[in-house]
Structure 1
Amino acid sequence: MRTTTNQFIRRFYCAFLVSLSVSGFQNSGNANNVSTQPAAHDAKPFVKPRARRVFKSTDEIVTLYGTKVREKLKPVFSAHGVSYPPKEMTWVALKQEKVLLLFAKDGSGKQRQVLSYYIIGQSGGPGPKLKEGDMQVPEGFYRMPSFHPNVIAHMALDVDYPNEEDRAHAIGEKRKNLGRDILIHGSRWSSGCLAMGNVPMEELFVLAYDCGLKNIKLIFAPCNLLVQKPNVDFKKQPAWLPSLYTRIAAALKQLPIDITNVPAAETLEETKATY
């Protein structure tokens, strides 16, 4: 009987600990933010309790950073003859060059390269994203459907990969698990996304908010196809890839691409834009 009682006590105690662990995850608002509050009988905690994360809305993020960002960007746009916020924009990511270039039309309707950012972190290499876990940054024409004000990488903009074209190719090739959650985000580490650093991301976030996500087009290219060929073995790539690159090159030809002044700040987390 004593053995049975002891077993019952041990099982009850283990269940109690599990319930505390689950409660900690639920109350934290983030599965990685486990509570470090000491038990009542502990004299000293091993680590300092982590402050509870405060989640913010998109509007709150823009209110927090908007004034500073707009004071910085409005003169830049004005110097290029572009009103702020612009009615439309095209953002071009060149993967090999690791740059994000922002274009808008001036008063005469001419495209101007207004901002240039160094991409601090990205994974993979030339070639499209085909499946989950391949670490590739997508290639093609995309949009940004939503804001992400609460991510571990400071803040982010969602990229609509896989889009309709990606899904159509996958159906034709009987591919599944295409991957998802491709973002343009802060911080410096990335897995299939574009990591821009926190300060540049604040600028991109506010600019996208002011311009309107529906008014921004994304072009993700393997490289500047106007001056070089991508380092891709087409024999190992889908048959439709050369056609996609032809369309991307035609789109890039409409833009005054200049990467000569983009800062090579690979070692810096908080890079600045070239204006």
Structure 2
Amino acid sequence: MTAVACGLWPRTTDLPRYDPSLYASNATPAPSPSPVFSWSNGAEYAIVVRKHEHTLALYHWTQQEKVYPVVLGIAPSGPKTYRGDLRTPEGVYRIVWKRPHDRWSRFMLLSYPNDIDRRRYAMALTDGRVPIIDGAPPGPGNAVGIHGTDREDANVRGVDWTWGCISLLNPHVEELYDLVPLGTPVLIEE
């Protein structure tokens, strides 16, 4: 009975045969996929962080110029949900502030949290997936950025050590810092 319900048996031969001429005359072409960099809004520079590869790629007018090794939050898998979850966020952000940093050489602040992150946080809060610490939920987090390191050995070995930021070796972050302006779009993907 199950096989009949699934259409596996009995097999009939009186089904119509596929005739491409019946479909081609009325077909409309499929829409072109969105450009790979539609999220960057035509910016001169764009950054793509691929968490699963532990890389940060710098693009200039959609052409890949550099790829740097990075380390991430201690719990790198999945998107950041709340302050203290030790995850690196996923989504589209912008560099909103840059400054030299005593501990990490350079720091570039990202526009985290964005609207999607705030909605994710609200859903997690509603679902009970955000811990209550000292009687209150911790919030979605902030101050996530791209920076250098004071733990060069950990970066060289690929050990994720940040609280959610993206860390590069100091010569790499200094080069990147000098190249990209404020407003540079940053895509962080799993």
TM range (shorter): 0.5 to 0.7
Name the SS for the 2:60 alignment partner: strand
TM-score normalised by structure 1 residue count? 0.43
Alignment partner of 1:160 out of 111, 116, 129:
111
Cα distance in structure 2, aligned partners of 1:123 and 1:207:
28
- 1:45 maps to none
The 5 Å alignment of 1:14-53 reads none
Match of 2:172 in 1: 200
- Asked whether the 8 Å contact 1:123–1:193 carries over to 2, the reply is no
Aligned twin of 1:96 = 52
Distance in 1 separating the partners of 2:71 and 2:119: 31
The letter for the 2-side match of 1:193 is C
2:144 paired with 1:182? yes
Match of 2:88 in 1: 137
**Conservation of the 8 A alpha-carbon contact between 1:121 and 1:196:** no
In the TM superposition, residue 170 of structure 1 has moved relative to its aligned partner by 2.4
- The question of whether the paired residues in 1 share the 8 Å contact of 2:81 and 2:120 is answered with no
Q: How far did 1:127 drift?
A: 0.7
Question: 1: distance between equivalents of 2:140 and 2:43?
Answer: 33
Identity of aligned residues (%): 30
CA RMSD, Structure 1 to Structure 2 (Å): 2.0
Distance 1:124 1:183, change over 3 A: same
Query: What SS class does the counterpart of residue 95 from structure 2 fall into?
Result: coil
* TM-score w.r.t. length of structure 2: 0.61
| Unaligned segments of structure 2, at least 5 residues | 1-41, 131-136, 152-160
Q: Which has the higher helix share?
A: 1
Q: Structure 1 residue aligned with 2:182, among 196, 203, 213?
A: 213
Kindly tell me the number of residue pairs found equivalent between the two proteins. 128
Q: Distance in 1 between matches of 2:124 and 2:70?
A: 31
Q: Is the 8 A contact 1:142 1:217 kept in 2?
A: yes
Counterpart-to-counterpart distance in 2, 1:141 and 1:94? 12
Distance 1:183 1:142 in 2: 10
Deviation at 1:172, TM superposition (A): 4.3
1:93 and 1:87 map into 2 onto residues whose CA distance is: 16
Where relative contact order (Cα < 8 A, 6+ residues apart) is larger, the structure is: 2
> Which digits, 9 at most, give the CA deviation of each residue in 1:116-157, with x for residues without a partner?
101145421321000111110000111111013234211110
Deviations 1:143-199 (A, max 9, x none): 111013234211110011111221133234436511121110001452211110111
Check the 8 A contact 2:43/2:185 in 1, yes or no: no
CA separation of 1:151/1:163 partners in 2, compared to 1, >3 Å: closer, same or farther? farther
Structure 1 CA distance, aligned partners of 2:87 and 2:81?
8
The answer on 1:117 being equivalent to 2:65 is no
C-alpha change, 1:143 and 1:172, in structure 2 (3 Å) is: same
Q: Which runs of 5+ in 1 are unaligned?
A: 1-85, 106-110, 223-275
The verdict on how the C-alpha distance between 1:131 and 1:120 changes in structure 2, with shifts beyond 3 A counting, is closer
